[in-house]
Amino acid sequence: MNAVAPSGGPTDARKVRDAWVVCGLLAAATLVNLLLDRYVSVTSQAMIYVLAVVVASYTLGWLPSLFSAVAAVTLFNFFFIPPRYTFQVEAQENLFALFAMLAVALVISHLGTALRRETEAARMNERRARQLQELATDLAAATLPAEVHLLAQRHLGRAFPGPCVVALLDAHGNLQLQPEQESSYRDGMLACIREAATLGPGTGRWPGLHAWYLPLRAETHTGGAACVQNVSAYDHSGREHAQAICAQAGQALWRLKLSAGMHEAQEQSQWHRAQSTFLAAISHDFRTPLAAIMGAASSLQTQRDRLPPPQQERLLATILSESRHLATLTENTLQLVRLDHAGDLRMDWESVEEIVGSVLARVRQRDVAHRIQSRVPAALPLIKADPVLLAQLLENLLDNALKYSAELIELEVALKNHRIELAVHDRGDGIPAGEVLAIFEPYRRGDRSGQRGAGLGLAVCRAIARAHGGELSVHARPGGGSTFMLELPVDVAQPATESA
């Protein structure tokens, strides 16, 4: 990871190092000149000192390079301008040459320092641009505000010597700061959020601060604030870089907020759509039996004396069967809603034989032709189940078999591979292969169903089966008809049986 931290003021260690570099360069130039003294002219020796000044000004700050320019001219005068080994200058011409050399050395040291600064600034800008690009890529992949927080904190930490602190606003508009950070950062952060601008050195706002306070802001939305400490009022490009990091983080937070809002709106509209489909289907299915009940009841009320007993019986039978239909419809609808909240299931250890027995007792009242036969083995293990729901599942399957077939119906229970299998076999028309999936969807009816129904029964059955960790499927029966197969898991660990 590249550090993007700007070079701060020179440290003591650096000052010492610069002094050594200046001394070394000037000592080397003097040594070379002394060695070449017999072979080269004074002009060439002056050039060697100028070279030392060029190197110093390109590698060091402006103060050491200025010092090296003055020192080079002084050393040149001392060692090589007659009278040698004194600071005096004999000839006027030499004095002029010394001044000219001083001027050249100063100009070169100034140009060298400026060039070095520009090169450093260009390198810094390049590193910062690369960092912003990297941050943009990281933020694009962020899916949670906490990730944006982490990224902003990490990138500010890399860009500035700091310390840097980032805090997000929670849903109630409170800054999420660590308790130990509260007193130091809260006021500044809240102020920059309120003013929607950077505060601190060089900003013209709150210049007395020693840190920049920056809002994480995009459009009109502020998602939090950052604080960057130990900054300089003159570091304009550093401030712009901090602002760019905070703006990117603000935009990412704004994007997350927008997409969360969109997701919520989508869910709500889906829920409203489902609700209205549900209500439309319910009201349609409830209206027909209700109309029949009301018609039959009002005929009985107004014309009972005039109606012959068989017709009265027929009307009463209509009321009973329509009420039963309404009860089934209501029960299935309620269970479908209830199964949406699977947490409401009242699971307990239950005996399959007992559930099957109670269902058969009820259904057989409607099975006037005694078509249902059952085979339930003894000593089946107990299962964890909601008995009301499981009974309803079985009742729906048996009712369907009675409705969609005219021959014998077999209810078969078996224990296979730690699963209890409940199969309802009938000899009806069967289910066409293309409808096998659709009939388990709510409000979906078979194309050729001549019988009345709402298309809810099998949807409820499958939801009940799955809520018990099981599965409901349908298969074509060899020889015609269908087999509806319910498979339920059996816990290996059974409850301890109570001694009588």
**Closest separation between CB of residue 361 and ligand ADP, Å?**
21
| 458 in contact with ligand ADP (CB under 6 A) | yes
Burial string for 313-323 (b: 16+ CB within 10 Å, else e) reads eebeebbeebe
- Please choose, out of 10-18, 48-56, 303-311, 396-404, the segment that lies near ligand ADP by the rule CB under 6 A: 396-404
CB 332, CB 457: distance < 8 Å: yes
Residue 307 CB, nearest distance to ligand ADP (Å)? 32
Residues 438-457 that bind ligand ADP (CB under 6 A): 439, 445-446, 449, 453-457
Nearer to ligand ADP, 158 or 445 (CB): 445
Q: Could you tell me where the beta strands, DSSP code E, fall in 334-453?
A: 348-350, 372-375, 383-385, 409-416, 419-425
Distance, in Å, from the CA atom of 295 to the CA atom of 493, rounded to the nearest integer, reads 55
* 3-state DSSP assignment of residue 222: strand
Smallest gap from Cβ 138 to ligand ADP, in A, equals 51
Closer residue to ligand ADP, CB minimum distance, 138 or 322: 322
Q: What is the closest distance, in whole angstroms, from the C-beta atom of residue 318 to ligand ADP in the complex?
A: 19
Q: In this complex, which beta carbon is closest to ligand ADP, that of residue 244 or of residue 411?
A: 411
Residue 203 neighbours by CB distance under 10 Å: 18
**Using CB under 6 A, which of the segments 27-35, 355-363, 399-407, 485-493 binds ligand ADP?**
399-407
Q: How far apart are CA 366 and CA 402, in angstroms?
A: 9
401 in contact with ligand ADP (CB under 6 A): yes
For the bound state, the minimum distance from the C-beta of residue 419 to ligand ADP, rounded and expressed in Å, comes to 22
Element (H, E) at 228: strand 221-229
Nearest to residue 398, comparing CAs of 380, 410, 386? Answer: 410
Work out which of 30, 251, 400, 483 binds ligand ADP, going by CB under 6 A: 400
Q: Which two tokens stand for residue 83?
A: 């009278």
The CB-of-387 to ligand ADP minimum distance in angstroms stands at 21
- Of 223 and 455, the one with the shorter C-beta distance to ligand ADP is 455
CA 234 – CA 244 distance, rounded (Å): 17
**Beta strands across the sheet bearing 221-229:** 164-168, 221-229, 211-218
CB of residue 329 vs ligand ADP: minimum separation in angstroms?
8
Q: Which is nearer to ligand ADP, 309 or 479 (CB)?
A: 479
Q: Which is nearer to ligand ADP, 103 or 290 (CB)?
A: 290
CB of 457 to ligand ADP, least distance (A): 3
**What does 152-206 look like in DSSP terms, one character per residue?**
HHHHHHHHSSS-EEEEEB-TTS-B---TTTHHHHHHHHHHHHHHTS-BSTTSSSS
Report the C-alpha gap between 80 and 38 in whole angstroms. 11
Helix ranges (H only) for 341-380 are: 352-366
Closest-approach residue to ligand ADP (CB):
446
**Pick 383 or 431: Cβ nearer ligand ADP:** 431
383 or 397: CB nearest ligand ADP: 397
232 three-class SS:
coil
Residue 447 beta carbon to ligand ADP: minimum distance, rounded to whole angstroms? 7
Nearest in space to 486 (alpha carbons), one of 475, 464, 471: 471
Site size for ligand ADP (CB under 6 A): 19
* Residue 489 contacts ligand ADP per CB under 6 A: no
Instruction: State which of positions 416-435 bind ligand ADP (CB under 6 A).
Output: 426, 428-429, 431
CA torsion through residues 177, 178, 181, 183, sign: positive
| Shortest distance (Å) from residue 444 CB to ligand ADP | 6
Binding pattern for the stretch 464-483 against ligand ADP, x by CB under 6 A and - elsewhere: ------------------x-
Contacts with ligand ADP, residue ranges (CB under 6 A): 400-401, 404, 426, 428-429, 431, 439, 445-446, 449, 453-459, 482
